[in-house]
Structure 1
Amino acid sequence: MFPTLALVSLSFLAIAYGQQVGTLTAETHPKLSVSQCSSGGSCTTVQRSVVLDSNWRWLHDVGGSTNCYTGNTWDDSLCPDPTTCAANCALDGADYSGTYGITTSGNALSLKFVTQGPYSKNIGSRVYLLSEDDSTYEILNLKNQEFTFDVDMSTLPCGLNGALYFVEMDKDGGSGRFPTNKAGSKYGTGYCDTQCPHDIKFINGEANVLDWAGSSNDPNAGSGHYGTCCNEMDIWEANSMGAAVTPHVCTVTSQTRCEGTDCGDGDDRYDGICDKDGCDFNSWRMGDQTFLGPGKTVDTSSKFTVVTQFITADNTTTGDLSEIRRLYVQNGKVIANSKTQIAGMDAFDSITDDFCNAQKTTFGDTNTFEQMGGLATMGDAFEKGMVLVMSIWDDHEAKMLWLDSDYPTDADPSAPGVSRGPCATTSGEPTDVESQSASATVIFSNIKTGPIGSTFAS
């Protein structure tokens, strides 16, 4: 993910504490109801909340209001090195609706793409589900379970991504392993994913200031020496024109700071500790161009329900993950997932290791998913526990063409796996999307977890 909001910073203490908490804005987490279901379909509503990722937050000097980070540049006097910066600077509370366009109502979370706040323009957001105590992340194990939610992404055009996914973050945001992180999960720290992002401003309780360079095409983002890696299950990456469900795996078993080859950057993409490509099921890419989109079988012009089932080999919560199944429900009708329609491939309609191997072979893609353990590794991450993430973002690196257009753009669109959606290869320019679709909003609602078959009416 590529967050695009500048942070502001706090003043400094002589004592080297680290990654402080500011006091200029009260941190009040928006409440969100979710449901926990049991066999037979009986569901109980429980009160939870969401927290904004630390990367979007105002970062200022401790005891003051001087920015530690402005645009895509750190203040050298406050942040001359990673540990001094963590001691000098504090993350502050968030005005969720006014600054970030994040609102909740009952069981519904709305994420607005562009929000003109009182001091700045915010672009995109990322939030995490908190547990009952409102200060640690909710940790879920979905082995032999299903996860269900409703989504309305009817206003999301080409180039946007309304994403719902799980990552293997620490429950406390890393504050236990890294005592210099005083903010913790209450302030949205500790993010990681399989792209091993370098744009995260604090990793392992230290500022990512070493070798920091502002982005050449994003005035609010940059990248540092370190990345932050972990297993990732993309349940839903989508806009109104396309969608993908994608497990990604790593050779590490918790949030891990990377540098050099381990991060898998550039030409080292397939030499890092994480599988950046993943094993995706995108109906359009798998040959069915009639399945999902405006007016199609799954009609993205209105709300629908997404059901994802995580099947284990022995149908227990401790067995090896062996299959990821997808169903949809819209207008009272259960819709089976599309089937692959690719020459040389069987008619798969779910993600299995056999599907992944066949897809990689047919598309000529490097199969790091298999090399890193495939679905069993994904299941191991769930058994440890993963954190629910919901976000809206645009793509300054690849314009989201990997989701909704032809990608790579220099490949033959008729070659298997290249066409991923109907959007033009000229679409998704962030400057265009941000100016023309500022009001775009994704709404996630009615989140349910429970045993297979318990969260929806068949």
Structure 2
Amino acid sequence: MFSKTAFVSSVLAAVASGQQAGTLTTETHPSLPAQSCTAAGSCSTVATKVTMDANWRWLHTTSGYTNCYTGNEWNTTICPDGATCAANCALDGADYAATYGVTASGNALTLKFVTDGSYSKNIGSRMYLLASDTKYQMFKLVNQEFSFDVDVSKLPCGLNGALYLIEMDEDGGMAKYPTNKAGAKYGTGYCDTQCPHDIKFIDGEANVEGWAPSTNDANAGSGTYGSCCNEMDIWEANSISAAYTPHVCSVDGQTRCSGTDCGDGDERHDGICDKDGCDFNSYRMGDKTFYGPGGTVDTASKFTVVTQFIGSPLNEIKRFYVQGGKVIANSAVSITGVDAVNSITDKYCNQQKTAFGDTNSFEKLGGLAAMGASLSRGMVLALSVWDDHAVNMLWLDSSYPTDKDASTPGVARGTCATTSGVPSDIEASEGDSQVTYSNIKWGALNSTFAAS
């Protein structure tokens, strides 16, 4: 629901994204094999890897070690404008484990929340699945399903282990923007429906115009431009709450926005993307015991998440879980004014928006048909862990907005206190938090999971 980039930061000698490819640190992508399935029990291994998002990487001059971006400000001598900055600055390789707390073992990827390196302190991360060293794995999931295992037992209130699809360019934007020499290899080209302004390079140019350092994040800022695209949040969760949410835009693919099109502030519902989306959070939809420690889906141990994209054009997004050898259907709605369903359809979305008094930008911008069209064109898989410098993740796991009574329909989203999730608090007290994603599969409906 809120930006996964604007509120995730790293404290490094220099942390930014760039468009030239640096040579000071060799970029070696961790292996994360996945599986493509045609029928139950008939899956083949795909030799996929992962890469770190460009916003976390060291950005320095092409001819040396001078930082192009430090803390939350640009070096305006090296980067007086976007085009000059793109020519002057290089994006370098990543030391995944030591610097970023990212480790891969077999088919499992673990993302640590806080990593104290020899010279730096890193907060959160965002990774992408690669088909090769220079291209993202593209997912076209209409009338297909996607599944993965997840361990959220070490994700407390205020954190979000998010696995989601976004309509990025397969090559990270290299073909579209010749000034982008780094591409997917270095994690370039990010976009989502929040149209984030903290992306340091958009459309092959540095986002230096109008750059303003954040007032509550020493490592983040925002520029004039945002980077927008369709987004399918397959999984946003911690050990307390979980949601899956389609978000749609009126544009195809990664698109740079400015002004009203970005949907900022009071213009949230006037932009080209649906920032709210149509979410299914079991707690918010009336079942307060379905998900969590000791719940029907017990977050104290690992489980499988299955998401099915049914129909062409897309007309339903269905959720299952598998834990302890048992297939668990998603919880059913128990909210006045909404049918007792357990999946996302356009009817569900319309009823939910009415019941909660929310603006229905999802319908206005095309609903599930628009989401299906994006899935047909192809989307990139992001895997992340982050904290929220805007509203402390209360929209996921607490009561939000905080100026409404928790008994108001749609406000209560989880059991976390409204005082929880403050980044400065959890970065100090919950640094050992982590999420592990594993056993990624996709393919024909009912092909990726089984119960004993």
Which TM-score bucket, shorter chain as reference? over 0.9
Amino acid at match of 1:28: T
Aligned equivalents of 1:179 and 1:450: distance in 2? 34
Q: Deviations over 1:318-353 (max 9, x none)?
A: x20000000000010110100011122210100000
Aligned equivalents of 1:195 and 1:9: distance in 2? 25
Amino acid at match of 1:359: Q
| 1:221, distance to aligned residue in structure 2 (A) | 0.5
> SS of the residue aligned with 1:321?
coil
The equivalent residue for 2:334 is 341
Aligned equivalents of 2:200 and 2:412: distance in 1? 34
The equivalent residue for 2:448 is 455
> SS of the residue aligned with 1:170?
coil
Aligned equivalents of 1:22 and 1:326: distance in 2? 42
The equivalent residue for 2:28 is 28
Amino acid at match of 2:429: Q
1:81 paired to 2:84 = no
Does structure 2 retain, via aligned residues, the 8 Å contact 1:9–1:90? no
Does structure 1 retain, via aligned residues, the 8 Å contact 2:158–2:393? yes
The equivalent residue for 2:39 is 39
Aligned equivalents of 2:145 and 2:379: distance in 1? 14
The equivalent residue for 1:398 is 391
1:174 paired to 2:179 = no
Does structure 2 retain, via aligned residues, the 8 Å contact 1:151–1:305? yes
1:205 paired to 2:210 = no
The equivalent residue for 2:61 is 61
Amino acid at match of 2:268: R
Aligned equivalents of 2:413 and 2:213: distance in 1? 30
Q: Relative to structure 1, is the Cα distance of residues 274 and 7 closer, same or farther in structure 2, using a 3 angstrom cutoff? A: farther
Does structure 2 retain, via aligned residues, the 8 Å contact 1:9–1:61? no
Aligned equivalents of 1:78 and 1:305: distance in 2? 48
Aligned equivalents of 1:163 and 1:427: distance in 2? 19
How many percent of aligned residue pairs carry the same amino acid? 68
Q: How does 1:268-417 map to 2 (within 5 A)?
A: 268-312=267-311, 319-417=312-410
> SS of the residue aligned with 2:344?
coil
Aligned equivalents of 1:8 and 1:137: distance in 2? 28
| 1:41, distance to aligned residue in structure 2 (A) | 2.7
User: Which 10-residue stretch deviates more, 218-227 or 340-349?
Assistant: 340-349
The equivalent residue for 1:251 is 250
Question: Pairwise CA RMSD of aligned residues?
Answer: 1.1
Aligned equivalents of 2:40 and 2:361: distance in 1? 39
The equivalent residue for 1:122 is 122
> SS of the residue aligned with 2:315?
strand
Amino acid at match of 2:318: R
| 1:96, distance to aligned residue in structure 2 (A) | 0.4
| 1:45, distance to aligned residue in structure 2 (A) | 1.5
Question: How many matched pairs?
Answer: 444
Q: How does 1:121-270 map to 2 (within 5 A)?
A: 121-131=121-131, 133-270=132-269
Does structure 1 retain, via aligned residues, the 8 Å contact 2:14–2:71? no
Does structure 1 retain, via aligned residues, the 8 Å contact 2:40–2:450? no
> SS of the residue aligned with 2:32?
strand
Does structure 2 retain, via aligned residues, the 8 Å contact 1:7–1:69? no
Aligned equivalents of 1:32 and 1:405: distance in 2? 33
Does structure 1 retain, via aligned residues, the 8 Å contact 2:12–2:121? no
Unaligned 5+ runs, structure 2: none
Aligned equivalents of 2:207 and 2:327: distance in 1? 47
Amino acid at match of 2:143: N
Amino acid at match of 2:149: D
Does structure 1 retain, via aligned residues, the 8 Å contact 2:321–2:328? yes
Aligned equivalents of 1:196 and 1:8: distance in 2? 27
Aligned equivalents of 1:202 and 1:183: distance in 2? 11
The equivalent residue for 2:99 is 99
| 1:9, distance to aligned residue in structure 2 (A) | 6.3
Does structure 2 retain, via aligned residues, the 8 Å contact 1:210–1:224? yes
Aligned equivalents of 2:426 and 2:259: distance in 1? 33
> SS of the residue aligned with 1:31?
coil
Aligned equivalents of 2:232 and 2:297: distance in 1? 22
Unaligned 5+ runs, structure 1: 11-17, 313-318
Q: 2:10 aligns with which of 5, 17, 35?
A: 5
| 1:119, distance to aligned residue in structure 2 (A) | 1.8
> SS of the residue aligned with 1:254?
coil
| 1:63, distance to aligned residue in structure 2 (A) | 1.6
Aligned equivalents of 1:421 and 1:152: distance in 2? 18
Aligned equivalents of 2:370 and 2:339: distance in 1? 24
Given the two structures, how large is their TM-score scaled by the length of structure 1? 0.96
| 1:450, distance to aligned residue in structure 2 (A) | 1.1
Does structure 2 retain, via aligned residues, the 8 Å contact 1:8–1:68? no
Q: Deviations over 1:211-265 (max 9, x none)?
A: 1111111111110010000000000000000000000000000100000000000
The equivalent residue for 1:15 is none
Given the two structures, how large is their TM-score scaled by the length of structure 2? 0.97
> SS of the residue aligned with 1:150?
strand
Amino acid at match of 2:30: P
Q: Relative to structure 1, is the Cα distance of residues 431 and 388 closer, same or farther in structure 2, using a 3 angstrom cutoff? A: same
| 1:163, distance to aligned residue in structure 2 (A) | 0.4
The equivalent residue for 2:428 is 435
Amino acid at match of 1:330: Q
Aligned equivalents of 2:14 and 2:282: distance in 1? 44
Amino acid at match of 2:102: I
Amino acid at match of 1:74: W
| 1:7, distance to aligned residue in structure 2 (A) | 6.4
Aligned equivalents of 1:41 and 1:274: distance in 2? 39
Aligned equivalents of 1:388 and 1:248: distance in 2? 15
User: Which 10-residue stretch deviates more, 33-42 or 252-261?
Assistant: 33-42
Aligned equivalents of 1:289 and 1:345: distance in 2? 16
| 1:75, distance to aligned residue in structure 2 (A) | 0.6
Aligned equivalents of 2:257 and 2:277: distance in 1? 19
Does structure 1 retain, via aligned residues, the 8 Å contact 2:163–2:233? yes
User: Which 10-residue stretch deviates more, 35-44 or 343-352?
Assistant: 35-44
> SS of the residue aligned with 1:186?
helix
Tell me which stretches of 4 or more aligned residues in structure 1 moved more than 6 Å: none
